[in-house]
Amino acid sequence: MPMAASEIERLIKASIPDAEVTIRDLAGDGDHYAARVVSGSFAGLNRIKQHQAVYAALGGRVGGELHALQLETAVPNTETTSE
């Protein structure tokens, strides 16, 4: 069942409030997305735990309702932040 990108972003931010979320609809079908999630809360967590935090935010939808979510997570990098 298709899911709106805005809904994915809302769910992630509801559980990870400081998250910067960028979502791309890969196939235009509302079912294949790529998301990049940047959050200070990921600091000290390995990649597996970071991805699990996002999966948890999406409450079991990944792998079910949401077939494909290509995921990239990162901690804000202060060195490359401009301004």
Partner 1 sequence: MSDAQSRIADIVGKNDVVLFMKGTVLFPQCGFSSRAIAILDRLGAKYETVDVLQDPEVRQGIKEFSDWPTIPQLYVKGEFVGGSDIMMEMFESGELQQLVGAEA
- Where on the chain is the footprint of partner 1 (CB under 8 A)? 47-48, 51-52, 55, 60, 62-64, 68, 70-72
* Closest approach of partner 1 to the CB of residue 53, in Å: 11
Q: Identify which of residues 5 and 34 has a Cβ nearer to partner 1 in the complex.
A: 34
Question: Which neighbouring-strand residues pair with 36?
Answer: 22, 72
* Positive or negative torsion for Cα 14, 15, 20, 24: negative
Of all helices (H) and strands (E), which one includes residue 36? strand 32-38
The size of the chain, in residues, is: 83
* Closest approach of partner 1 to the CB of residue 14, in Å: 18
Q: Identify which of residues 13 and 36 has a Cβ nearer to partner 1 in the complex.
A: 36
